[in-house]
Structure formats: structure tokens, C-alpha cells
Structure 1
Amino acid sequence: MPRQLAHLRLVAVNIDGVLLNDSFSPVMRRLVEGYGATYDARFEREMLSQPQRVAAQRAADRLGGDAGQLIKEYFALREEYIREHPVHLLDGAAELLATLREFDVRTVCYGGLERAHFDRHLGEFADYFDAPGYVCTNDFRPGIREISELFGLRHDQALFIDDVARVAGTARELGTPFIGHPGESSHGYQRQLMEEAGVRHMVGTLRAIDAPLLRTVDAEAAAGTVWD
């Protein structure tokens, strides 16, 4: 029998940076520094978890050039990067999905790339997710409002697990439960930015998202104290 939670009805898990290794922010750094610019926390805050067209235009405003061309350059650099650092399942990801399946909540994966990315790298775990399994959020990032509404839930009934502080900021605005999984500080500034955003629950390993932590977040959501 599934374990019961008092309040949460959905757990939404980001794909790149949570279940899979981050193959985006390191590439962003390469692109920016290739233009002779400084990659800093402000730049990273403006770029991550934005629709591609928005991120590209902001990058063009800072770096110069055409937004469309920057998108092409970015994805060409990403192809080079993943040849050096192949996309792979992060340590503890399978265990996290198994833990979530023990509870009476629905689980969905989301991210900025098309579904083919999910099918290719997480297809073997498809049974761990509820329909539609994966939601592409490129047109409405970060997607908290839209994913919650897709499942017919209030914003406080869905827990989001993400590696980007912009998502945390939106979660705070909406009163949505959030667990942060920021990447290594050598790659970017997300831990710093999450701390500034007031994220209460941050983990360095997916294994830390266990039953006790989920029950803690559930109790905070039920009490309306997620961001207090």
C-alpha cells in the first residue's frame, strides 16, 4: 500500500540538473567566455530557466550579435560538450524515483527540451511517471503554474525539485513547495542564488530526498509554512 501524504498530490522533477547531469550551464559559460565576456551570477540568473528565445535575446543584448545565431552557436557548443561529457543519469536518481513511487502522489518530469530528450535518456524509467510523463516547458518557463494547473491542482499541492534558483523564486511567489538541487559551485552560481532566494531545503545529493524529507515538506505545505 502506498505511503500517505497529507497535502501534496504531485511531485514535478526537473530533468537536466536533477535526474540527468547539467549539460547547459557549463555550455553557457563557454559561450559567454568565448565572446570575451565575464560569466557571473547576474548573467546566469538572467539566462537559466528562460524560454530559448528570451535567453538568446538577453545574451545578444550582453554579448552582441543576433539572437538566432547565438542559439545555433549554443547548441553547436553543447554537442561538443556532450561528446566530452555524455548525458547520464545522476547518482541517486533511480533511487529518488523509486522513493517517490512509494507515496500516493503523481510524479512528472519536466524540462526545456523536446520530449525526445526524455525518451532517449529516461525511457527505461517511464513507468515511474504519470501521464503525460514529461512536460516540455520551453514556451512557458519555469512552468510551475502551468504544470500545477495541468494536473488540476493548487500551486501549494505540487512539490518541485529543480537545480535553478529562478524556479525557486517563482515557487516562492506562488507558495509552492520546493527542494533545490543546485549544481557544483565550480560550474555556476545556483547554490548562492538559492540561498539568496530563501530556499529552505537544498540537497547536495539526490539520496537526501528521502521519506523523512518528503514528509517534512508535506507537513509544511499543509501548514502553509513552506516559505516562512
Structure 2
Amino acid sequence: MRLAAINIDGVLLNDTFSPVIHRFVVNRGGAYTAEVERRVFSQPQQQASEYLAHVVRVPMTGPEALEAYFAERVAHMSEDPVRLLDGAIELVRRLRGLGLRTICYGGLGREHFDRFLGEWAHLFDGPGYVCTNGFRPGITEITSDVFGLAGAQAVFIDDVARVAEKAKELDVPFIGHPSDFEHGFQRGLMQEVGVRHLADSLHHIDEAMLRAVDAEAADGTVWKQPSVAPV
């Protein structure tokens, strides 16, 4: 592998999306289900907001849902501010120490990266940050368009199963860091997809795990069991 692509919210920064989406839905009479997470997480904002407007019982349009969601997110962040997750910068340095280039990506604009990770921008390559709102989840765009690499040459580290699904479709290495949000479904969804490498802590994404993923990428066994030679 030559590149590590690291999601910003939920991997490098704390998860400020799951709690807000959950509260948004249940406070408006909707049911918060795995399907809600499938249809909202790592989706373009317009598409996600149209779905949110559909599942709640308060009449609203997609744009109204998006505006209300971001207003509630601001309120949530006053109670639980955005912060670096424990081990975040150490992970980036560990990746770079193993010879990988690093890129950060997410659905919010560049200003989000600059505000919360600008101090460490020198630890990221190329543009440093890629906003994927226009082409979710962005695996092909980041690997091929930005860095000119084949899929197997990049590992994606993300907290959302939909990204894992696309990685599996493209045979791209993937490490899952599902949120510990008590009402969340991402760990189970990742297990359904067949994610082999799951980490509850960024410290668990250690050299041993990264070398194992690299070996699987080289063997073409990232998403399938290696063949066993007959005895």
C-alpha cells in the first residue's frame, strides 16, 4: 500500500453526527433504525436531508431538514465540542512512519479541516483534505483522481459501513472504526459487510494490523479468505 485515507469525523475527530441525527429523528416522531443510518451516513447532504424529511412525522422539506439538522448540530457541539480523538495524531504519524502517504477526507468543507486539524496539516499529503460531499463516498476519486493510484494501493479508515461496502465492491483495503454511540448500528453493519479489521480505539490500528492489511492487499485477499494449498 502507498496511501492511507482517513475520515475526519468519527475517526480523527469525535462523532458529532450520530447523536444529532438520532435526536433529530426521534424528537420528530420517527424511528431511528439501521436503515436510517444506511440512507443518511456518508451520503450527499441533499440526498440525506431529503430522506430525513421523509422519515420524520413533522412535515418539512429536504432543505428545511438540512437547515434544522445543522442548527441542532451547533447546539449539540456546545454541549459536546468537536475534539481530536485519543491517538488520532499518533495514528497519522504511525501511518507515515510506515511509508504511507496520508490524506484526510469528509463530507464537510475544507474549513472544517482547517479549523480542527490545521495545526497538523503538514502531516497530510496532496491537497491535505478532500471534501467528498459531491461524490460520496469518494474512494475512486481519492485513490485514482487525486493520487493516481490503483484501489489496492490505498487503505481507507472510516466509521461508516457504507464506505466499507464501496471498498468491498472495489476490492480496496478498509479498516473500520465504528462509533461507540449507544443507539448506533455501524459495528453490526460493518460485520454484515464482512469487514475483517475493526478497531474500537485508534491505538488498536497498530503496526501489526497495518502490516496484515498490507499483506492482504498484496495477496488480493482483503475481502476474501486466502486460498489454502492442498496438503
TM range (shorter): over 0.9
Alignment partner, residue 194 of structure 2: 198
SS in 1 for 2:4: strand
In structure 1, stretches of 5+ residues that fail to align are 1-7
Structure 1, 178-187 or 155-164: larger mean CA deviation: 178-187
1:49 aligns with 2:42: yes
Aligned equivalents of 2:199 and 2:183: distance in 1? 16
Preserved contact between residue 185 and residue 191 of structure 1 (Cα < 8 Å): no
User: How much does 1:37 deviate?
Assistant: 0.9
Aligned equivalents of 1:108 and 1:61: distance in 2? 34
Preserved contact between residue 175 and residue 226 of structure 1 (Cα < 8 Å): yes
- Pairs within 5 Å for 1:15-30: 15-30=8-23
Amino acid corresponding to residue 166 of structure 2 in structure 1? T
Aligned equivalents of 2:214 and 2:91: distance in 1? 16
Higher relative contact order (CA 8 A, sep 6+): 1
Q: TM-score, normalised by structure 2?
A: 0.94
1:124 aligns with 2:110: no
- Pairs within 5 Å for 1:109-188: 109-149=104-144, 150-188=146-184
Residues 185-208 of structure 1: per-residue CA shift (max 9 Å, x gap): 404110011011110000010001
Alignment partner, residue 229 of structure 2: none
Alignment partner, residue 103 of structure 1: 98
Preserved contact between residue 162 and residue 181 of structure 1 (Cα < 8 Å): yes
User: How much does 1:112 deviate?
Assistant: 0.4
Amino acid corresponding to residue 222 of structure 1 in structure 2? A
Equivalent of residue 86 in structure 2, options 70, 83, 91: 91
Alignment partner, residue 5 of structure 1: none
Alignment partner, residue 209 of structure 2: 213
Q: Cα RMSD between the aligned structures? A: 0.9
In structure 2, stretches of 5+ residues that fail to align are 225-231
Residues 53-83 of structure 1: per-residue CA shift (max 9 Å, x gap): 0101112222242000000000000000000
Amino acid corresponding to residue 105 of structure 1 in structure 2? L
Preserved contact between residue 12 and residue 159 of structure 1 (Cα < 8 Å): yes
Aligned equivalents of 2:181 and 2:100: distance in 1? 32
Aligned equivalents of 2:111 and 2:191: distance in 1? 33
Aligned equivalents of 2:183 and 2:89: distance in 1? 24
1:14 aligns with 2:14: no
Number of aligned residue pairs:
221
Aligned equivalents of 2:29 and 2:157: distance in 1? 34
Q: TM-score, normalised by structure 1?
A: 0.95
Aligned equivalents of 1:196 and 1:106: distance in 2? 30
Structure 1, 127-136 or 56-65: larger mean CA deviation: 56-65
User: How much does 1:124 deviate?
Assistant: 1.2
